[in-house]
Amino acid sequence: MMMRASLAILGLLAAEPCLAQTEAARPVPPAGRPIDPAAQGWSVTVGAAPILTPMWQGSRDMALSIFPDLRINYKDAIFASIPDGLGWNAVNRDGWKAGPLAKMRFGRDEDRGGSPFLITGSSDALRGMGNIAAAAELGGFVEKRFGSWRARVELRRGFGGHEGVIADTALTYRTRAGRAIVSIGPRATIASKAFIDTYFGIDTAQSRRTGLRTYAASGGVLSYGIGGSVLRPINRRSAVTLFTGLDRLGDAAGDSPLIRERGRRMQFTLGLGYGYRFRL
């Protein structure tokens, strides 16, 4: 029963678009109230989030989109959403959480380049680069909470649009300010050559179409920066979340002529989410 429910959730979430085609925006913090570790049964959070973000990762052009947000949780064991993926807290004790994780990275379109929920914004910087198909990313995560701090590492391997390996790391400090919950901390993403070359490399055919010189990317630090959010409960079932982030592309991606001539290494994101949670 649990396996069938998990597969159904994955199918539902895979039908929704991602927040940005190559994670120009970092994952949106939960829009609803935090999950109670003692919660029983299934809970669903529905909401929406207007987000100001680069058109694509590395873009100098900004875009405004309004994203739907759907999150499904079973107790403090199974979680599913587009930003967080489908995961299982197989280990969940003494401040530790760890388990398998699956995420979907939607493709990059050379004409649109950005969100399928685009309200305003445009970019022609990707013309001639070709499209990148969607990719499934399978792997796992480890998380440790100590006091007001949380450290988390995710490691995933892509299948489809890219065949690379990507690791997300974050250290987050969380505190309360009145009724609000404030979170802030540094983060970094490390990726293999296969991943970075897919999104930032330029082969001979792309060079002819774009006029950019060829570039073979290496693996390394994809991006590093800081992110923060303020979650303010409205009542027992709903909350609003203001979130922002500032990230800089690492040398492996930032040295690409695509970024040097048509993009920007500094990436800024600002969004406001609303979520309403109910139990099944």
CB neighbour burial string for 148-161, b if at least 16 within 10 angstroms, e if fewer: eebebebbbbbeeb
Helices (H), 40-141: none
Tell me the helices (H) and strands (E) count for the chain, helix number first: 5, 14
The Cα–Cα gap between 186 and 173 comes to 9
The type of residue at 219 is: G
Residue 28 predicted with pLDDT over 80: no
Q: Which three-class secondary structure state does DSSP give residue 207?
A: helix
Residue 18 predicted with pLDDT over 50: no
pLDDT band at 58, cuts 50/70/90? very high
The arithmetic mean of pLDDT across residues 100-127, rounded, is 85
Tens of pLDDT along 163-186?
A: 999 999 999 999 999 999 999 999
Let me know: does 54 contact 110? Beta carbons within 8 Å.
no
Q: Please, what is the average pLDDT of the chain?
A: 88
Q: What is the pLDDT of residue 16?
A: 40
Percent of the chain with pLDDT over 90: 74
The arithmetic mean of pLDDT across residues 239-263, rounded, is 97
Assigned CATH class of 2-279? mainly beta
| Of 37-46, 49-58, 68-77, 84-93, the least confident | 37-46
The type of residue at 184 is: I
Token output for 78: 């199974």
| Of 59-68, 188-197, 214-223, 227-236, the least confident | 59-68
Q: What is the pLDDT of residue 10?
A: 44
Other C-beta atoms lying within 10 Å of the C-beta of residue 8: 12
The Cα–Cα gap between 83 and 70 comes to 10
Other C-beta atoms lying within 10 Å of the C-beta of residue 19: 24
Tens of pLDDT along 222-245?
A: 999 999 999 999 999 999 999 999
Report the predicted TM-score, pTM, of the whole model to 2 decimal places: 0.86
